[in-house]
Structure 1
């Protein structure tokens, strides 16, 4: 193979990640949804994990009197399976597809309340906990699956400990955005400014990472949570082009990140028709 040919192939390969592809032509894995505890807001359950549990990394939610308790979708998605194995295996169970290769499963249900093809918002009741299938006692078996493989579970951004019994209190469908600006922008970022949008539609945030000198903007929705609707976030370093993330999103737009150092920035965002745009500020 000629040197020019090799260089061309290397350049093409380097461009693939920006397109969301691998050399095999497959989409790269997307970030996990912000999965929530699959019970009503305020309910505390024991997230039990066991060495040798099958599938590995699945979680058994346990609680006194759990039979008949409403089970909620851990994130928005589409119902792909509603099955009943009788007195074996999962018993009555449901699977929800969240996009990007991510799915969740809910097993040993006493009741199933959705049908295949149904679109469910995060926090919607999909069934009731029980003890169907091959179990020794009532509990909810739960899995977070990426491309067919069960992953270590995270609930509201917190990793479930393996192997342990850990109490988690549900924030599912509590009426607020389940994300924080710091979660969206990532480690090292702290809020330096924020602006509530008109009509309580949401809030635009400006964050800063002192170690990297990077700015980050995100707009968190406060309305139509869990349902895709118009939202945007933008960041403009003085003297450079503006970068905007806009589209139909379920919880937030962004993160939009740019390094500015001591250069002034203009930032803001929108939810629906309600917008905010700062002047050039935060110059030092």
Structure 2
């Protein structure tokens, strides 16, 4: 698949009704783009695509970018086909015969049977399966038949390339949780709000005795801005992850079984530093 640059967002004509079979019409549900709010992606449709009604999304340096649920529902497929077909892919059932598919992911972050909400992180953009470059292959299906895609009540462009801006869960919703940042085995044991800018979290892995700190922002989602996270085990030096990040700072991990820790972080000018605590 050839890369194509993001274009300016363009509103297309409303097409909330999709024609099915012998002239029967069904209302499309309220799908949004499968990316966090405000992100601009270039979407390409083409007649030789399989299926033709699917869309491929690209933007600059998109490998590993978050993919979120276009609509809430239940995960019915979370598959790895290796170097074949969709590679890593996820399917979500939205009810009334409607499903959505997300293909060529580098990482699948949901399992079959999980209930997901609109805007929830379900995977990362990748280059798996029969793909020649990082991108997201996306489909909307009704009763197993791929339909022309509708976002925010408007049908996308067929056939060609156009830029689109996501309106998925706008209003400070970060697709990442501290558990996803710190990884398997970590559970949150403390947190501190950073005003209205975000939250810094302390997590612990009882299996390894490690602590982890992650700071999740709720402002400027998807846009780099100052964020930090730090962790200090009593008697040791402090480790800090600080920079201009789009979603979070961290993970900062240290072995701390039966040792006191000082932890915290910042988003913009709002910061928190704990005392030495959680010593058990």
TM normalised by structure 2 equals 0.53
Number of the residue aligned with 2:83: none
**What is the aligned partner in structure 1 of residue 189 from structure 2?**
192
Alignment partner for residue 266 of structure 2, among 258, 264, 270? 270
Residue ranges of structure 2 left out of the alignment (5+ in a row): 1-24, 68-96, 120-167
Distance of 1:264 and 1:242 partners within structure 2: 13
Task: Tell me which residue corresponds to 1:127.
Answer: none
Q: CA deviation at 1:189?
A: 1.4
Q: In structure 1, what is the equivalent of residue 19 of structure 2?
A: none
* Contact 1:230–1:246 (Cα < 8 Å) also in 2: yes
The 1:188/1:94 distance shift into structure 2, 3 A limit, reads closer
Q: What does the per-residue CA deviation read over 1:77-97, in whole Å, with 9 as the maximum and x for residues that have no partner?
A: 663553442898525734224
**Corresponding residue number in structure 2 for 1:170:** 118
**Residue pair 1:233, 1:244 contacting (<8 A) in 2 also:** yes
Task: Give the CA deviation at 1:141.
Answer: 6.5
Cα gap change, 1:168 to 1:205, in 2 (>3 Å): closer
Report if the CA contact (8 A) 2:64-2:106 is conserved.
no
Check 1:160–1:74 CA distance in 2 against 1; reply closer, same or farther (3 A cut).
Answer: farther
Q: Which among 102, 110, 118 is matched to residue 158 of structure 1?
A: 110
**Is 1:74 aligned to residue 35 of structure 2?**
yes
Q: What is residue 132 of structure 2 aligned with on the other side?
A: none
C-alpha root-mean-square deviation of aligned residues, in Å?
3.5
Q: Residue 95 of structure 1 aligns with which residue?
A: 57
Larger Rg: 1
Matched residue pairs, number? 177
- Cα distance, 1:187 vs. partner? 2.0
Q: Deviations over 1:175-223 (max 9, x none)?
A: 322222222212221211111112x111111111112110000011121
Structure 1: gaps (5+ residues):
1-62, 106-137, 145-149
Distance 1:241 1:64, change over 3 A: farther
User: Relative to total residues, which structure has the larger helix share, 1 or 2?
Assistant: 1
CA displacement, residues 145-182 of structure 1 (integer Å, 9 cap, x when unaligned): xxxxx24874xx31357xxxx97542341532222222
Answering whether residue 228 of structure 2 is matched by residue 232 of structure 1, we say yes
How does the TM-score come out when normalised to structure 1? 0.52
Q: Which has the higher contact order (CA 8 A, sep 6+)?
A: 2
